[in-house]
Chains A and B, each alone.
Chain A
Amino acid sequence: MAGLSPIRRLHDWWQRRRLSAAGQPLGAQRLFLMPTRFGVIWAVLIPVLLLFGINYQNNLAYGLAFWLFAVALVSLWRGWRNLHGVSLTASASGEVFAGDLAHLSVRLSAARHRHALRVVLVAGPGQVAAAEGEIRGSELILPLAVPSLHRGQWRLPPLRLESAWPLGLVRLVAWVDSGVELLVYPAPGETGEAHARRRGQGLAPQDFAGLRRFEPGDGPARLAWKQWSRTGVLSTKAFSLPPRRQRWLDYDACSGEPEARLSRLCAQLLDYHRAGDLYGLRLPGVELAPANGPAQRRRALQALARWAAPSPRSGS
């Protein structure tokens, strides 16, 4: 700790200082005022009106200038009061593959009517999700679709709750640490050689068994394009496979960059699961015994998501 640079320490202090906890009513210490460009224009308008008053000795111009100044002050307080005491909780639903949208549900609650609230999440450079609404009654639920960037454990960055209400002169901002952690699975890639080998071994799907909903990772060859052009719903052709074949998803059997291998493994995993096969997973340092069903699928995906390449020193 002693080795931290002052800038780093300042940054940490600012992080601690600005963040509010999820589920707690926003406190006075954690609400920040940011002037907007319109606020600056307003600050120029008032002296202009005062000049009218001074140069023409016009009391109504004086009065209007003073009134607009007072209105600006009161609007700060009204805006502050609009955000003060709102509590925010967020929760994620469904599973996320890297590159897909993670679906958050942000719940804002307060005892009073709150206006023009906006929730913003900056996931990365240029990756912004935002939603807005007002609390009438006691709560407001906003859906937020956040682009997920990388595989692995992802602690969501702080959510920004903001409002320029009532006049747009300042923006009231609070940063809330939602505490939501997402486990982002690898993006299912092309199954590649492994897929081809499988097909060559005569393990390809045999009889057409019907259509089911598209899931991420379904190969383009199996998509029901005709169906899609007719109905607009993307479906996948399902084929009955001989069940309970035992397979291994082996990291070492794939080639290429570690992340590309994981993507390929992920695609295979989804294939095997769909086919109902028994499958096991071998990653350097991790091994899952063959099994099938949703539990095995979840375990295997989580293992893929969490696996970290061993450093070269400890690997050999």
Chain B
Amino acid sequence: MSAPSALLADGRSLSAPLLIQLFSGQCLVLALHLPFMPPWLLGVALAAAGWRFLQLRRRLPRAGVVLRLTAVVGVLAGLWLQYGGLMGMQALMGVLLGIYLLKLLETHDRRDGRVVVIIGFVTLTAAFLHDQSLLMSAAALLAAAWLLQTLVVLAGGRPGRDAWREALWLLALSAPLMVVLFLVVPRIGPLWSLPQADQAATGLSDEIAPGDIAQLSRSDARAFRARFDGAEPPPAERYWRVYTLSQFDGERWTRMGPEQHAASAGQPVSRFVQEASRSPYDAGAPRYIAELLLEPDSRPWRPSLGTPLASDARQRYLADGTLEGLVPLSSRGLLQVGSSAAAPSYPDPAGPAWHRLLPQDANPRSRELAERLWHAAEGDPRRYLAALMARFGESPFRYTLSPPPLAGRDRIDDFLFDTRAGYCTHYASAAAVMARIVGIPARVVVGFQGGERHPDGHFTIRDYDAHAWIEVWLDGAWERLDPTAAIAPQRIEQGAEAFLGGSDDFLADAPFSPLRLRELGWANRLRLNVERAEYRWQRGVIGYQRERREALLAGLTERFATLWSRLGQLTLGDALRLVAVATGLLLLWSAIRRWRQRRAGAEGHRVRLLQAWLAKRGHGPLGGESPAAHLRRIAPRGGAAQTALEGMANDLERLLYAPLPDAERHLRRRRLVRQLAEIKRRWPRRR
């Protein structure tokens, strides 16, 4: 037998086909990192592979220590320049990739090949820190299968079909155990903190000036997904609160975190925030229970539909009626939040005076207008606010994503009296200022409004659903007031996408977004199906954490217990029936076995028939003669049937005595039948 083709003739060095296989594996693993890595690493991969290729062709010497060191230092220097350091997550990933690619330069024997595969598995896993989507998982599975079949070849398996078959067998046979381990092994918290992937701070920021949220409407990135247990809110109630902004400096609305509030008011922090899994401010029952699938983000914001009242894990409940996680999410996470779908009904400990603060002597025209309206409303806040909303609904005001820029000191004046064009931020900002002028406590709320409902019932909320509105303190409770609903009610009823879809600025930063294909029926269906599969994957697999595991195991234990108790209640009749079924199955099984044995012995039967046929023609077997010997003895007298007789004798002996692989057995059996017919046909006729 020749040496396995994984190695060269010297029995040590790896052959060119195997190196190509290793390199292809590297390419597959690299492909997982492609969107996240510096592109010049591709050049490193090609250079290392090119060197090895030329070297195999005996045109270059083996890479010496100097060259390898230079290459490593070069890659490190490149990463340093790119990321300004080597300790960040991205830089560390780059180092890992660099080592993986350069290892090819010094890969000569089997052991090196295996080390390359091992580093490949680590690099493959590192790619999961960037992304855990369905597509990534599928690509990773392909790469893992490739690495496994490389190992099979390295262990002496025949490259190609044999190695692939074995790798797939291994993966398939081990899959059930993997699933059980995945479900059963307890999940523990991080053992120590590691550099985190630099997550972009997506979605909302905690301060806005008129003009900010329009940037978000240019993006179709997913903010989070939600599924409701029980009732779903109607479109006009889908206000996801994220932050409240209560500090206004004449230009920007800024959020004051609980710690800042406590520091400026000289009060304990616990008045402004509490860690709990139930709202400490409001004991009411939640109207809607939403299961949120959150995207990773560098800030711990958590959306809630209205005021958060309860959650399935401990969260920070803020006194302004918003929610924060204990830590930022480094990967997607699930959270269940019960909420009221309305503004908070309890006061903010910062006090009403805080919510009336305005910069002095700014926006004089607005103050004048406010006083006029306040008089007309005879000091009734509700009538005053209604008049304000009605004013926004009148014709000179319009809703647009590309309003004229506001630059002056009195921006609210400029907006209300000159440009009169803007979107939610402009209207919310102006409305809150107008309310504060006449002494109504008011704050701006930023969050999301709407979301796309999928046919299977889950909602996707994207960046372009970002929204701003205001809350005013009236009659001992906060009340939501959305000026955008006055000027552009379709934005609230139909969602941002339906309302803004035609605008040039909508999705301006996502030219290839599949969302642009909504008009094409099949493309939209395909997109929805992909998104549904992705949602199920994220929710079922990626979001499988401690709570889900405990719930699953509790469910299983319970089911097992009921089964057990039912077994205890079996009557005699049931037991007899069970025994009868088992006996029946056993009989069926033995019948099948006997049938298969008969089929296996079929050639003996056929040959006995042929022997009888020959005996009628005067050529019967002698006593003690085996069928094959009989056929061989009479073959010379068979004339044209001689070769068939001899062939049949051979096949018969092989079938009866040789351990044959199934394929060969099958082949010989079919040949035997053919030969039998041939013998009868060609046997010399009697004269």
Tell me the A residues contacting B by CB distance below 8 Å.
37-38, 41-42, 45, 48-49, 51-52, 54-71, 73-75, 78, 109-113, 115-116, 118, 131-134, 137-138, 140, 142, 163-168
B400 in the interface (beta carbon within 8 A): no
Least Cβ distance of B334 to chain A in Å? 11
Contact A45 B330 (CB under 8 A): no
Q: Which residues of A contact B659 (CB under 8 A)?
A: 109-111, 138
Q: Which residues of A contact B171 (CB under 8 A)?
A: 67, 71
28 A-B pairs within 8 Å (CB atoms) are namely A42-B118, A45-B122, A48-B122, A51-B191, A52-B128, A54-B190, A55-B191, A56-B330, A57-B190, A57-B330, A57-B333, A59-B132, A59-B544, A60-B541, A62-B182, A63-B178, A63-B182, A64-B121, A67-B144, A69-B178, A112-B661, A115-B157, A116-B4, A132-B3, A164-B156, A165-B152, A167-B151, A167-B155
Contact B181 A61 (CB under 8 A): no
Residue in B115, B170, B658 with the greatest tally of chain A CB atoms within 10 Å: B170
Closest B residue by C-beta to A163: B156
Least Cβ distance of A48 to chain B in Å? 7
Contact B125 A64 (CB under 8 A): yes
Q: Which residues of A contact B192 (CB under 8 A)?
A: 55
CA distance A131 to B156 in the complex (A): 12
CA distance A62 to B191 in the complex (A): 14
Contact B174 A62 (CB under 8 A): no
B419 in the interface (beta carbon within 8 A): no
CA distance A165 to B333 in the complex (A): 41
Contact B155 A168 (CB under 8 A): yes
Given A45-B121, A56-B190, A78-B166: A111 in contact with B156 (beta carbons within 8 A)? no
Contact B175 A58 (CB under 8 A): no
CA distance A174 to B658 in the complex (A): 24
Least Cβ distance of B289 to chain A in Å? 24
Least Cβ distance of A130 to chain B in Å? 9
Interface string of B105-136 (1 = CB under 8 A from A): 00000110011001001101110110010001
Which 8 pairs of residues, A with B, have the shortest CB-CB distance? A116-B156, A133-B1, A70-B174, A70-B177, A168-B155, A66-B181, A111-B659, A60-B128
- Contact pick for A118, options B114, B124, B156, B181, CB 8 Å: B156
Contact A137 B182 (CB under 8 A): no
B664 in the interface (beta carbon within 8 A): yes
CA distance A302 to B1 in the complex (A): 34
Q: Which residues of B contact A165 (CB under 8 A)?
A: 152, 155-157
Given A56-B194, A64-B125, A71-B170: A137 in contact with B661 (beta carbons within 8 A)? yes
- Contact pick for B188, options A38, A45, A54, CB 8 Å: A54
What is the interface size of chain B, counting residues whose CB is below 8 A from a CB of the partner?
63
Given A59-B544, A67-B144, A138-B661: A116 in contact with B175 (beta carbons within 8 A)? no
CA distance A116 to B156 in the complex (A): 5
Q: Which residues of A contact B4 (CB under 8 A)?
A: 116, 132
B173 in the interface (beta carbon within 8 A): yes
Give chain B interface residues in 1-28, CB to chain A under 8 Å.
1, 3-4
Closest B residue by C-beta to A51: B191
Given A55-B192, A64-B140, A64-B144: A74 in contact with B152 (beta carbons within 8 A)? no
B319 in the interface (beta carbon within 8 A): no
- Contact pick for A137, options B175, B196, B664, CB 8 Å: B664
CA distance A110 to B4 in the complex (A): 20
Closest B residue by C-beta to A140: B1
Contact B137 A75 (CB under 8 A): no
Given A52-B126, A73-B174, A168-B114: A58 in contact with B181 (beta carbons within 8 A)? no
Least Cβ distance of A35 to chain B in Å? 14
Q: Which residues of A contact B121 (CB under 8 A)?
A: 45, 49, 64, 68
Closest B residue by C-beta to A38: B114
Given A64-B144, A74-B170: A57 in contact with B177 (beta carbons within 8 A)? no
Q: Which residues of B contact A68 (CB under 8 A)?
A: 121
B162 in the interface (beta carbon within 8 A): yes
B606 in the interface (beta carbon within 8 A): no
CA distance A37 to B191 in the complex (A): 28
Given A41-B114, A66-B178, A78-B170: A55 in contact with B194 (beta carbons within 8 A)? yes
Given A45-B122, A52-B125, A70-B175: A167 in contact with B152 (beta carbons within 8 A)? yes
Q: Which residues of B contact A110 (CB under 8 A)?
A: 659
Least Cβ distance of A34 to chain B in Å? 14
Contact A58 B132 (CB under 8 A): yes
Give chain B interface residues in 276-332, CB to chain A under 8 Å.
330-331
CA distance A52 to B121 in the complex (A): 12
CA distance A131 to B110 in the complex (A): 17
B556 in the interface (beta carbon within 8 A): no
Q: Which residues of B contact A54 (CB under 8 A)?
A: 187-191
Contact A67 B175 (CB under 8 A): yes
Least Cβ distance of A55 to chain B in Å? 5
B545 in the interface (beta carbon within 8 A): yes
CA distance A110 to B660 in the complex (A): 8
Given A54-B191, A74-B173: A138 in contact with B658 (beta carbons within 8 A)? yes
B335 in the interface (beta carbon within 8 A): no
Contact B174 A67 (CB under 8 A): yes
Given A52-B128, A56-B330, A166-B157: A115 in contact with B162 (beta carbons within 8 A)? yes
CA distance A164 to B658 in the complex (A): 28
Least Cβ distance of A251 to chain B in Å? 45
Q: Which residues of A contact B542 (CB under 8 A)?
A: 59-60
Q: Which residues of B contact A132 (CB under 8 A)?
A: 1, 3-4, 156
